A and B are shown apart, each in its own frame.
Chain A
């Protein structure tokens, strides 16, 4: 297993920068390619090689196909990028249909990244230890933009909610996706081939994912490394990754109102904690983060970081603890799916559909405490809050889009009938009835809630390519031949 070139991989791919609490994202257009290239040659971008104790800021960069073309990358090289990336998140009606970007999540109504918005070329991700540091980073960059030939389209701010919660009130980011050879403490069941997330390394099928390679004469300064699977050519993809960005607005008030009404209606569940229990069944974890598989009946906050569990192997094959349709069971089914649930084969097949999640929340919390009773009591004034969902993968179709369509939006997931993901599902109705259903497997028989509205809406999004740092310098050199 070759070691990852952490000096060349941009830091956000391998780390969430948990100590850099403040962040914002800038969407930019390349107004003057010559100036932009000159800037790319020397600007500092953060690699994954840093000391978290002393680092107080980070800057990472990614590009859309339009941005790469604008920099002068020729069409023949461009053609070897992933088809999904070249077409874009909003590129076809089929993609919109499968991602669930329809109705009031349709790209026509997006605030960025849609057909009615200016087309982004560059995504800059800025991080700082606190708001003061971030402000300085932003100020420096904004000062540099004119010189860099870049114009700002939009600035997307983030928020850091207390207790590592997301807006619905649940602890998020407990589950970590580990990388073979990089996370040395990883359990084999949760450790994935690096090529699933970083181009230029072997993927879960033992192959090098297709990526753009450049003939030596296309890289006269020898900035790029040789491709490991084609040493005569230079690897533009090496140490890069595809970044999937979706701004998901969360309707916190609507979520809790629905859950609260339903919890009081469901026969059999008549206790004051019914609301939290039903919501937790939908997520698969208690608000503290503790998984239901570990603590099926009451929350056990002491185990909030617990991530070493399965479904079949943890004695929950039928969803009696964590429902089959729960968000975390769909987003990462672990050992729950064919072939042979509970087997190593099942786990191996699941490993071919993983992503590295690196998003952050945005917008103010509904209640500062982030505790459910306070969220319930607070009036959701309908402000814009949610998640800047960001993930990295190398095969968008087999990883991000598969998870979104085959697992989250699919009402038939693992033998269900009309249940899409309770949290993020698109209520697409491909089961023949509008509205979502959520089934709570139980004995002697299941209960379920129906007519569930959509709780998250897509406000913007796009597919980006985050190159290795050498490749950034190469892009900066494109005009100079």
Chain B
């Protein structure tokens, strides 16, 4: 079983080609069932994909940034195989989509190797990358859903009300064992590979080491840094303009066809060295936290996100955030405000125009009125969007994995009862790690009362 990667390609569109590119892409409602230009459903190991046009824009210095086309995918490792699939299997589609981009191979040179060279040239590494749960492949997710449905049908087929919990678990295991197409589920899912775990551990050690080195000077300089932060925050100019109603409508029109939704938001980084340093530290920390702290299905209390990424673009002048999540944008924004404001403030307050924060963690998103007005001004339309399991929430995926895990191994009576509940309800997520629990229990509301 592989781990998951995020691929981001951002390439400039040749002048005059933007409209043609948009025509090729259409919009999400145009091809809600399937999009035949790039057959995402035929690419193996693919969880999510989307295509986004970033329109021509001006940066904070008034410089023009040309329009760009972005392809973002979430895929099971190895990434190289995915790139080869794109350049090969999806090659014709790639030609159609990226043919209007600067640097795309001429029509006479459109070979898999040339396409690959193009993809590699415009690959952007994510500054931070969140996976709801590492090491769950798209095949595993789909197969475990089939497993749950089949066991569900089995449970409907007879009266089990007088079974003991143990007897019922045995009956379910016998049912699964008797089905050649489901028998695989009696083995537990493969745990993360040793190589990956070692790399992860080294990553942890490296970053904790860096943090320990930086901590003493940071503590010494804390008064100065805080004063600098406050002076920057006071000088910030929140963007209080509202997006035109038509552009909000256009974004809404793309949403809520499935239980999943997508969002992309892009904006300029705040200028100046201080903000640059803060941004770098925060994004590094975010990436670290996603990997080592919030790695069990909850991102500081948000448990509806499948994948998210923060990517710097335009030589570090702008950044975009992109995620795949469950439920409506309204509920997503409410979750941001109600459950994860502190962390999101720290990240997004480095973006120009963000609602005013205080001490990095307070204010900001908590200003519901300002935040809900601000977000649509930075949102970018996803024109093509693909999900390999659009009818499964993160909770469904986690519950299915727990159902499968419970088919093997020993269980005591309590564990069996808890496991059997999962066939009727999947809201019991695995507990977060210790550090995540500590962070989640910080009473930000109360602390932030002193920040004004």
Contacts and interface: CB of A to CB of B under 8 A. Distances in A.
Given A93-B253, A339-B339, A406-B330, A415 B426 contact: yes
Contacts of B326: 412
Interface residues on A, range: 35 or more
A378 interface: no
A94 interface: yes
Most chain B CB inside 10 Å of its own CB: which residue of A397, A410, A443, A444: A444
B155 interface: yes
A405 B256 contact: yes
A446 B426 CA distance: 12
Interface string B155-170: 1101111111100100
A377 interface: no
Contacts of A447: 161
B118 interface: no
A444 B165 contact: yes
B396 A412 contact: yes
Interface residues of B, number: 54
Contacts of B163: 444-445
Contacts of B338: 339, 349, 352
B330 A402 contact: yes
A209 B331 contact: no
Contacts of B148: 417
Contacts of B158: 267
B366 interface: yes
A406 B333 CA distance: 13
A319 B421 CA distance: 10
Interface in B321-358: 326-328, 330-331, 334, 337-339
A416 B426 contact: yes
A444 B417 contact: yes
B399 interface: yes
A124 B32 CA distance: 42
Contact of B330 (A398, A414, A443): A398
A446 B257 contact: no
Interface string A403-422: 00110001110111100000
B256 A402 contact: no
Contacts of B140: none
A207 B303 CA distance: 27
B393 interface: yes
Contact of B161 (A97, A414, A432, A442): A442
Given A442-B424, A444-B164, A406 B328 contact: yes
A448 interface: yes
A249 to B, nearest CB: 24
Contact of A207 (B248, B367, B428): B367
Contact of A445 (B253, B327, B330, B423): B423
A94 B252 contact: yes
Nearest to B426: A415
A97 B328 contact: no
A98 interface: yes
A203 B83 CA distance: 50
A92 B249 contact: yes
Nearest to A450: B156
A94 B328 CA distance: 11
B450 interface: no
A405 B328 contact: yes
B148 to A, nearest CB: 8
Given A397-B330, A430-B259, A444-B160, A338 B426 contact: no
Contact of A339 (B259, B301, B426): B301
Contacts of B369: 205, 207, 209-210
A324 interface: yes
Contacts of A440: 424
A103 interface: no
A70 interface: no
Interface in A377-427: 397-398, 401-402, 405-406, 410-412, 414-417
Interface string B411-452: 000000100110111111000000000001000000000000
Nearest to A406: B331
Contact of B327 (A94, A97, A406): A406
Contact of B160 (A95, A267, A339, A414): A267
Contacts of A209: 369
Interface in B293-321: 301, 303
Contacts of B249: 87, 92, 94
A21 interface: no
B439 to A, nearest CB: 13
Contact of A443 (B259, B393, B417): B417
Contacts of A398: 330, 334
Interface string A323-336: 01000000000000
Interface in B268-288: none
A210 B162 CA distance: 57
B168 A444 contact: yes
Contact of A441 (B165, B337, B391, B425): B425
A406 B326 CA distance: 10
Contacts of B253: 92-94
- Which 7 residue pairs spanning A and B have beta carbons closest together? A415-B427, A446-B424, A267-B159, A268-B161, A432-B391, A415-B426, A94-B252
Given A267-B159, A443-B420, A448-B152, 11 more contacts: A83-B245, A92-B249, A324-B425, A349-B338, A352-B334, A352-B338, A415-B427, A417-B426, A441-B421, A444-B164, A444-B420
7 contacts: A92-B253, A268-B161, A318-B421, A324-B427, A412-B259, A441-B425, A444-B168
